[in-house]
Structure 1
Amino acid sequence: MGLTNQSTGTGALKEMFEVELESLEDIVVALAGNPNTGKSTVFNSLTGLNQHTGNWPGKTVTNAQGKYKYNSKRYILVDLPGTYSLLANSAEEQVARDFVCFGNPHATVVVTDATCLERNLNLVLQILEITNKVVVCVNLMDEAKRKKINVDLKKLSEILGVPVVGTTARSGQGLDKLKDTVQKVAKGEIETNPIKIKYNKIFEDAIEDIKEYLDNTVEDKINTHWTSLRLIDGDQPLLDSMNEYLNIDLSKDELLKQKLESVHANLYKESIRDHIVSCIVKTAEGISKKTVLTEKKKHNEIDRKFDNVLTSRIFGLPIMIALLGIIFWLTIQGANYPSAMLAQGLFWIEGQLTIFFNWLGTPTWIHDILILGMYRTLAWVVSVMLPPMAIFFPIFTLLEDLGYLPRVAFNLDHYFKKACAHGKQALTMCMGFGCNAAGIIACRIIDSPRERLIAIITNNFVPCNGRFPTLIALATIFIASGAGAFNSVAATLSILITIILGVFITLMISKILSKTILKGLPSSFTLELPPYRKPQVGRVIVRSIFDRTLFVLGRAVAVAAPAGLVIWVMANIAVGNVSILTHCAQFLDPFANLLGLDGYILMAFILGLPANEIVIPILIMSYMSKGSMLELDSLSEMRQLFVDNGWTWLTAVCTMLFSLNHWPCGTTLWTIRKETQSLKWTWVSFIIPTITGIVVCFIVAQGARLLGLVL
């Protein structure tokens, strides 16, 4: 149920603030903080696996909620988006601000980083202007100790006027005290008296003038001192939110408009925001000087030495590409054995199901549809998708936990800016290597709607783990076949070149989109390089498997099952002694030949829409004229089958290029529809990579033929 009058003291709120309460006695706690403060670690440590994620309705901003019990009381912890301020410059800031302001949680925990407290205090001070039900959590106390930074928590609490708790969430230190303090603040057992930011006299007089009017208009539904400040700053999103959640439309209040115009006449309007920010920053600086003692000035010296190499112009990109190659090699090599074992187990189950159906006396066509069609498709998708994702996502998350991924964004930011795209797109693109659907979800971190759309549309240009089997097989049997003992190295290098080409195409298409249907200038953003930290391997594995691997796999299975039915029908129903699949392939053959392919290859990609993993099995089934998907025992057998059906090195290259550049899989398209809430942009995301693939393959195929490189 949602936050209600009884549970929060505000009126019933709209879906944006839906919190799943089991009882009206549940205590709702908001968790706020800057990015890279360990906020997610605090959230995960408190809630364990008793959590779920989704979207704030109407916004592509992540919404995580979790539950925990303390002293027989149930707590609902709402993890707000990580943000540096509440000035509502982005969707994340607006969501965080609106929940604290209008969601009226029983308590708000602000997580800060003990190693850079001064910067984090800016957000703390802004939240204290909205509510006094605040607990400041100074996290990463172990990191501060290692860097010889001492934070006087008692003095910090006295100055801020709210409780302050030191924690090391990674090891659980201080979390019990945090729970106890949250309970006392929520119940009103601790009296708080938040610090007031001092603005100049003209500003304070202006605030007081507006506040006096608002006191009679909005009463106690919102902090009128803070609201006055935001209205003076011209915060239109706040007016919209007040109208949406409090049913108070101040935009039509003529008297208020006159008062604001009078205030602006006495102030230099262009300096209002600067003055507000300046006062917040100066207050934070003053508090930091009184409460933080650094024994060693160069406490970040080791981190800076690493950054001098990892983010340098000379070594940054080569190290990143080499690391990417190692990850892919580990994923490819490591997934082979578990994938084979999983396939063996799933196909053993298929045999048992066949025995069971025969025992029941089930008609053959029903058995074939359910087992050889739907179940076999599911078995292929699970056996091929699960092992690579179970390897890639934890490795990717370990790099994230280590602090390396922001360095990747830093290295690529210049190139994405040149393409009029967002630097954070580098991170969403990297996530797409594991799964494009997961990469689409990751695009939520991009604030600008325009740049978020560019990232979503172009994410498909980097190959996901579903396309790696096709790329690996063709690279091994056609491109690296003459490398002898270095076969696997040559295959890895060819795949790496393919990936670099995908990144280049991503930048090129991003530039074209930003100059045509998504015009605009690239937005600026704060890119923080957090300190390097020892990753928590166990927690990372659990989080990556449950939050990413199984989530994406579930969507893939939901799409693959009906696809298996379609594939079986097309392969087994004949028209004039020729299957529908063959008829379609023959129809597409002239067009496919222009692209360096054949009709069966193109049909395999079309039928592989639900999941790219099944493209090669469908192709083998088509060439062998069988009624269900097959896999050959060795790559040499596959090579011979393809050569017998007219394949050359050009066919392999064009198939790899088309695999890199074609429509997203069904799971990714579904995710795009969910994230954009738009059929239009889902179709655009389908059409653009498809046209790109057709153009690239046509140029390569016709160019090779004109130059006489292939017979």
Structure 2
Amino acid sequence: MDQLFAQGSVSSSDDRTRDQIVSKIYETSNAITSDVLTFDQQDRFQRSEKIDKILTSPIWGFPIMLAILGLIFYLTIAGANVPSSMLATFFSTIEGYITAAFNAVNAPDWLHGVLVLGLYRGTSWVISVMLPPMAIFFPVFALLENYGYLPRVAFNMDRLFKRAGAHGKQSLTMAMGFGCNAAAIMSTRIIESPRERMLAILTNNFVPCNGRWPTIILMASLFMAASYTGGTATLVTAATVMGIVLFGIVVTLSVSWILSKTALKGVPTHYTLELPPYRKPQFWNTIVRATLDKSLFVLKRAIIIAAPAGVLTWVFANIYIGDTSILMYVVNFLDPFAQLLGLDGFILMAFILGLPANEIVLPILLMGYLSTGAMLEVENLNSLKNIFIDNGWTWLTALNVMLFSLLHYPCGTTLVNIYKETKSAKWTFLSFLIPTLIAVGVTFIIAQIVRGLGLV
């Protein structure tokens, strides 16, 4: 019987008793099955148990988990660079033909601006930046799930969530949040306790979803790994991204602990998780399914939202009241507050307009930095970095952009799902307010500390 049992959330005074009871149950059931059952593949059973002793070990479980996570990030970052550049070049070539067609029919400049500089460039940016990393990350993550490793991750993480007063199953919903937080909210239905389910809903936002990966990876590549080249640069980028993810997990556990002691007090529940046997992954079927069901679905959603956002940003940047565009009025209004957070008005404006979907934050930000309000054709990462530096960016700006992207309010789709799941405007508002306050507080503190020490 290839089964392990994870101990769920219980009060601290009962932890040891609970662990002893479950351990004894497992030992007894294992002894009974050994007496009455004969295994056809005894070697496979023993090998699986030996693997579990390592992967779920209190000593080796977490280091192995972090190493696998880091490897996934490394493969995603290293593998996405070339196809992203190829897609950007392809879309740039196509744009040349589209522009030529507009010129041939003497189309007005405003129509070319809206459809090409706004709609087409914004959409093509989303595709070229998002598709390659998603096409790597989601299939690799799906292979781990298919193999049976993710339940072992839940077993390891249960120890932490138990201490935070949350339910161990929250680790499974958190893992799903790496793909899409909106889907993670729906997955909280596996948590029977209303109190602990609400804890999961309010804190699932603190892991980066597919829409935040491009921002975090790009900032880490351009600024944190700027002094390195080749494989070392990719390694530093992956380490930075993993550090951001771990910080998000720490925030998740911390907020869960605070809420479990304040607004969401209650009697903790426990659960028993039966770990499935290891399975040989259906390699090609898993890759195709993850690519079609997750990558392309998420990309389709991003395009649907990014297209009108690109048009809207172009319009705001090209409609003037006096000698100032509507976009600049908004930026100038936001800039004083944004500077306190180590950001600027353009960055904060991009996050605000990016409420419908996190995927469109970067396109809106780049579009805003251009005086014409058109999406920039980026030839390579160096030219992109120069745009940021010309607008006053430092490593502190990049760091706080990553942190704000990680911690800030959920996207519009996630908020809608939260309301559908809770049927409460109050909890939906709190799910918006809590991460927003944390994002503002964290970036403000870091900005003031760094500037106070004279590091920028």
Taking structure 2 as the reference length, the TM-score comes to 0.84
Name the CA shift for 1:346/1:333 in 2 (closer, same or farther; >3 Å). Answer: same
Q: Write out per-residue CA displacement over residues 294-345 of structure 1, whole angstroms, 9 at most, x where no aligned residue.
A: 4677762111110111111111001101100111111122222333333444
1:150-229 residue pairs with structure 2 within 5 A?
none
Aligned to 1:306: 51
2:431 to 681, 685, 690: 685
Q: Pick from 412, 417, 426 the counterpart of residue 162 of structure 2.
A: 417
Q: How many residue pairs end up in the alignment?
A: 428
Partner-residue secondary structure (3-state), 1:300: helix
Paired with 2:291 and 2:433, the residues of 1 have a C-alpha distance of: 31
Alignment of 1:270-289 (within 5 A): none
- Does residue 376 of structure 2 align to residue 376 of structure 1? no
Distance 1:469 1:299 in 2: 41
Give the match for residue 278 of structure 2. Answer: 532
Partner of 1:329: 74
Whole-angstrom CA distance in 1 between matches of 2:382 and 2:136? 27
Per-residue deviation, 1:548: 2.6
- Relative to structure 1, is the Cα distance of residues 648 and 299 closer, same or farther in structure 2, using a 3 angstrom cutoff? closer
The aligned residue for residue 626 of structure 1 is: 372
Aligned residue runs from structure 1 range 346-385, under 5 A: 346-357=91-102, 362-385=107-130
Q: 2:314, 2:367 within 8 Å by CA — same for their partners in 1?
A: no
Q: Over aligned residue pairs, what C-alpha RMSD do you find?
A: 3.0
Q: 1:502-552: per-residue Cα shift (whole Å, max 9, x none)? A: 110111112223233333333222211111110111221233234333333
Structure 2 partner of 1:432: 177
| 1:375-426 deviation per Cα after TM superposition (whole angstroms, max 9, x unaligned) | 3323222332233222222211111111100000000101111112121222
Given that 1:325 and 1:496 are in contact with CA atoms closer than 8 Å, whether structure 2 keeps it comes out as yes
Aligned to 2:396: 650
Aligned to 2:202: 457
Report Cα offsets for 1:100-136 as digits up to 9, x if no partner: xxxxxxxxxxxxxxx789xxxxxxxxxxxxxxxxxxx
Q: One-letter code of the match for 2:367? A: M
Q: Answer yes or no: is the 8 Å Cα contact 1:574–1:580 preserved in 2.
A: yes
Show the counterpart of 2:329.
583
Call closer, same or farther: CA 1:352–1:418 in 2, change over 3 Å.
Answer: same
Aligned to 1:398: 143
Q: By percentage of residues, which structure has more helix?
A: 2
Tell me how far 1:701 sits from its aligned partner.
1.0
Aligned partner of 1:503 in structure 2 is: 249
Contact in 1 for aligned 2:118/2:374 (Cα 8 Å): yes
1:479 alignment partner, one of 224, 228, 232: 224
Stretch moving more, 391-400 or 515-524: 515-524
Task: After TM superposition, give the deviation of residue 460 of structure 1 in Å.
Answer: 2.0
Larger of the two Rg values belongs to structure: 1
Question: In the alignment, does 2:65 pair up with 1:320?
Answer: yes
Corresponding residue for residue 134 of structure 2: 389
**How far apart are the structure 2 equivalents of 1:384 and 1:310?**
34
Correspondence for 2:291: 545
* Per-residue deviation, residues 193-235 of structure 1 (Å, max 9, x unmatched): xxxxxxxxxxxxxxxxxxxxxxxxxxxxxxxxxxxxxxxxxxx
Cα deviations by residue, 1:417-452 (Å, 9 ceiling, x for unpaired): 111212122222222223333333433333333323
Structure 1 residue 455, shift from structure 2 partner: 2.1
Unaligned ranges ≥5, structure 2:
4-32
In structure 2, distance between residues paired with 1:405 and 1:360: 56
The 1:351–1:450 alpha-carbon spacing in structure 2 relative to 1, beyond 3 Å, is: farther
Q: 1:297 to 1:537 in 2, by over 3 A?
A: closer
> Closer, same or farther in 2 for the Cα pair 1:456/1:623, shift >3 Å?
same
* 1:590–1:599 CA contact under 8 A, matched in 2: yes
Aligned position for 1:195:
none
Aligned to 2:343, the other structure's residue is in SS state coil
CA contact (8 A) 1:425 1:446 kept: yes
| Structure 1 residues 356 and 610, CA gap change in structure 2 (3 angstroms) | farther
Moved more, 541-550 or 413-422: 541-550
Q: Aligned in 2, Cα 1:709/1:683: closer, same or farther, shift over 3 Å?
A: same
* Residue 466 of structure 1 pairs with residue 211 of structure 2: yes
Q: Is the 8 A contact 2:85 2:128 kept in 1?
A: yes
**Corresponding letter in the other structure for 2:210:** N
Contact 2:207 2:249 in 1 (8 A): yes
| Structure-2 change in CA distance of 1:569 and 1:495 (3 Å) | same
Partner Cα distance (2:386, 2:302) in 1? 31
How far, CA to CA, are the matches of 1:503 and 1:298 in structure 2? 37
Instruction: Say if 1:420 and 1:520, in contact at 8 Å, map to a contact too.
Output: no
SS in 2 for 1:388: helix
The 8 Å contact of residues 470 and 656 in structure 1, kept in 2 or not, is answered as yes
Cα distance in structure 2, aligned partners of 1:639 and 1:550: 28
**Structure 1 length-normalised TM:** 0.56
Would the aligned equivalents of 2:353 and 2:361 in 1 still touch at CA under 8 Å?
yes
The alpha-carbon distance between structure 1 residues 447 and 342, as it changes in their structure 2 partners (threshold 3 A), is farther
Q: Secondary structure at the match of 1:392?
A: helix
Q: In structure 2, how many angstroms separate the alpha carbons of the residues matched to 1:296 and 1:660?
A: 46
Within the candidate set 265, 285, 294, 1:519 is matched to 265
Q: Deviations over 1:642-696 (max 9, x none)?
A: 3332222222222222122112233433443454454443332222211110000
Cα distance in 1 between the residues matched to 2:176 and 2:165: 20
Percent of aligned positions that are identical: 58
Identify the residue that residue 492 of structure 1 maps to in structure 2. 238
Aligned residue among 82, 87, 90 for 1:342: 87
Q: Which amino acid is the alignment partner of residue 450 of structure 1? A: R
**Hey, what does 2:384 align to over in structure 1?**
638
Say if 1:627 and 1:471 are closer, same or farther in 2 by CA, change over 3 A. same
- Which AA in structure 2 matches 1:437? A
**Corresponding residue for residue 7 of structure 2:** none
| Structure 1, unaligned runs of 5 or more | 1-114, 118-287
If each structure's strand is expressed as a fraction of its own residues, which one has the higher value? 1
Q: Distance in 2 between matches of 1:393 and 1:484?
A: 27
Contact 1:559/1:667, CA 8 A, preserved across alignment: no
SS in 2 for 1:527: strand
Distance 1:673 1:364 in 2: 42
- Preserved CA contact (<8 Å) 1:384 1:466: no
Q: Distance in 2 between matches of 1:536 and 1:395?
A: 12
Aligned to 2:30: none
Match in the other structure for 1:557: 303
Deviates more, 1:574-583 or 1:381-390: 381-390
CA apart distance, 1:594:
1.0
